[in-house]
Amino acid sequence: METLDENAAVISASKVTGTNVYNTDGDHLGEIYDVMLDKRSGNIAYAVMSFGGFLGIGERYHALPWQLSSTTRQGGYVVGLTVDQLKEAPTYAANELPAGGIAPLITA
């Protein structure tokens, strides 16, 4: 059924937020914390994934490109990112901007 939250073409930011993120091995990496919007172009700049629990390093954030985040599986998004890659990737805390800007940090 189509609702205000989602249809075939669009999805609300509030529905995206909180969605689980997995890698292609099925590991749970984190959740979508927020969606960053480009003020001028009207494009989605990137999605922000929060993680930290399983890494034991406190809550950290990781920028994910929107297009790569749009593959869904088991009720979540799937990204091509291993746990080791995530541990080594640039991350940022809640009061920081993404290190190195908003370039995609994962590859398909």
Binding window for its own copies (CB under 8 A); candidates: 4-12, 19-27, 52-60, 75-83: 4-12
Q: Where are the alpha helices (DSSP H) in 52-94?
A: 66-69, 83-88
- Is the alpha carbon torsion for 45, 20, 71, 10 positive or negative? negative
Sheet with 76-79, side-by-side order of all strands: 20-23, 76-79, 72-73
Q: With binding defined as CB under 8 A, does residue 82 bind its own copies?
A: no
- Based on the shown chain and the rule CB under 8 A, indicate whether residue 70 belongs to the binding site for its own copies: yes
Question: For binding to its own copies (CB under 8 A), which residues are involved?
Answer: 2-5, 7-14, 16-17, 34-40, 42-45, 48, 61, 66-67, 70, 92, 94-97, 102
